[in-house]
Amino acid sequence: MACIVLDAMGSDNYPHPDVEGAILAAQKYDVEIILVGDEAILKPLLTTVDTEALSISIVHAPNMLTANDKGMNLVLKARRPNSQNSIAVGIDLVKNGKADAFVTVGNTGAAMVTAYFRLGTIPGVDLPALAPIIPTATGSCVILDVGANTDVKPKNLLQFGIMGSIYSEKVCGVKNPKIGLISNGEEEGKGNQLVRDASLLFKDSNLNYFGNIEGKELAGGSVDVAVTDGFVGNVILKIYEAVAKLILETITKAIKSGGLVAMLGGLLARPALRKVKVLLNPSEYGAAPLLGANGLVFIGHGRSDANAITNAIRVAKEAIESDVIGSIKVAIEENLKT
């Protein structure tokens, strides 16, 4: 049975969505879950439901990392061997082989820094990359990096492509994923120096390299994996999420303000609108993996509800069962031989 650690103090409205999501995941996916956080807060929540048949336990972590933890203060808390915050304690459970994956919807930067210092990176990988799945016209696409590294080198983008390809294959079920480099033009030779140099590395690799892609190819589903630096990726992700929210809110507003005919039309279109809402809802994709860390770490939105946390645990289970870490190690070694 897969064992997954959940930072139960992570969400904006902790600990209720976190614990509720963990219970739902344990019921649906037959996983062992370790809740990490203040035991005095968490224990009473478990007594309100029948968890006797579920594999849920608590590991006490009295402290938290928040948005106020920055700079050297954050680095020290991430690196100290005796750190007692919920992220450090949870990641240490993975590091020490007591769990298979760690999930948090807490401070993204804190989770990335803590994972980097406590787990290190997979041999051959210089920098970890945050790799969410986004919806496209043909299904979905893994995009990386979306914020872990704003400044990268061409070899880092190649490493991202290798890891994204493995994740797309193992978790998304895509055979021989197509990989594209995000650029300001699809023609060969377009892009900044980083993109042009990285393109040469991709061409010399054994990856299924599609070439440069613009935003329209990304949304249109031309590739299964989109590679970029963390600065560009983060901008794309935030725009994607904002536009999705705008579309849903605009449709809802138009129906409510359109009178009786619009209301009736909205009722008739409800099944289709529900499908659109599911497609554009980030919570349906769970959490994003921090690919390249030498252990499975998943990071979700702070505003996650119980459904999002349940899905994050589901995705972590899929990554465990498909041996994403082992497969990345093999792929890195094969592609980056010197």
pLDDT recorded at residue 189:
76
**Alpha carbon of 40 to those of 23, 89, 102, 313: distances in Å?**
18, 16, 21, 23
pLDDT recorded at residue 3:
95
- Yes or no: say if 133 and 319 are a contact pair by the CB < 8 Å rule: no
**Averaged pLDDT, groups of 10, the chain, 338 residues long:** 93 91 91 94 82 84 80 77 91 95 91 92 94 88 90 94 95 93 84 91 92 90 94 88 79 73 64 61 77 95 89 94 94 76
Measured between alpha carbons, how far is 54 from 237 in angstroms, rounded to an integer?
A: 36
**What number does CATH give the domain 126-285?**
3.40.718.10
Nearest Cα neighbor of 87 from 116, 119, 110 is 110
> Per CATH, the architecture of 1-125+292-338 is what?
3-Layer(aba) Sandwich (3.40)
Burial class (CB in 10 A: 0-12, 13-18, 19+), 317: buried
pLDDT recorded at residue 323:
94
pLDDT recorded at residue 302:
82
The residue length of the chain stands at 338
Burial class (CB in 10 A: 0-12, 13-18, 19+), 337: exposed
pLDDT recorded at residue 327:
94
Task: Sketch the domain layout of the chain as residue ranges.
Answer: 1-125+292-338, 126-285
pLDDT recorded at residue 154:
95
Residue type, 132: P
pLDDT recorded at residue 338:
46
Helix ranges restricted to H, 269-336: 270-280, 306-321, 324-335
Measured between alpha carbons, how far is 137 from 217 in angstroms, rounded to an integer?
A: 10
pLDDT recorded at residue 47:
80
